[in-house]
Amino acid sequence: MITHYYLGWFTVFFPERLSQVLREDITDRKSLVMISSNPLDAKVDGAVERTWLDHAGILFDDYYLINHGIKKEDAHTLIQNASVIFLLGGDTLKQNEFLMAYGLAECIRKSNAVVIGASAGAINMSAKWLCSKNFGYPVEENTVYDGIGLGNFSVLSHFDLENNMTLFQSELSSISEKMMIYASNKDCALRTKGDKIDILGSVYIFSHSEIRKLEETF
């Protein structure tokens, strides 16, 4: 059953509840393929995200990082053979541009691997997401970007929703009329497994301009 994880950002490590379900879901541990959020910066190496998995006891035979140092065709092969694909946190825009330029979105959609995204990575797993200066992006005009589209919904991850509810609703009300938006802060997770959705932490759903907090199911 195809499984996807949309994560916020974790203060230290995964809580044990999340570690447990990840261990259950990730049974094939041949290769972890990480996708950079800033593919021209070699310092973005996924070290933090990897420690989360290490601490949870999820180790792999091989580890790979896809950035501009990897040829496009080699990147496609790595994704096709991946046990787990992890979209790293960081720069949402640069990661999105890289995903599209390298044709990685389609490869990921076709994959049967467990796909995980943290912060920027989770946002780019969305069907669509809003790039706005009010969300901290260095832009003058709001633009709606296509993400990978692993599910027909949008994700706003690692966002302080409780203290910015009015901003959140005003910025995303238009998208909420077209698709559901899941919003979460730090130390949160949304898991889709087939048609089932599980929640860890403070996660909200915004649809047709109405917002409500979801109950935890982990």
Looking up residue 56, the CATH number of its domain turns out to be 3.40.50.880
pLDDT of residue 143: 96
pLDDT of residue 22: 98
Q: Could you give the number of structural domains in the chain?
A: 1
> Is 34 inside a domain boundary?
yes
> Is 218 inside a domain boundary?
no
> Is 162 inside a domain boundary?
yes
pLDDT of residue 161: 77
> Is 113 inside a domain boundary?
yes
Residues of the chain with pLDDT under 50: none
Measured CA to CA in angstroms, residue 21 lies from 53, 64, 174 at distances of 12, 23, 34
CA within 13 Å, CB half, 112: 4
pLDDT of residue 163: 82
Closest CA to 30 of 60, 58, 57: 60
> Is 129 inside a domain boundary?
yes
Question: Kind and range of the H or E element at 58?
Answer: none
Closest CA to 92 of 180, 204, 170, 9: 9
> Is 119 inside a domain boundary?
yes
pLDDT of residue 187: 93
Q: What is the pTM of this model?
A: 0.96
Host domain of residue 102: 3-213
pLDDT of residue 65: 98
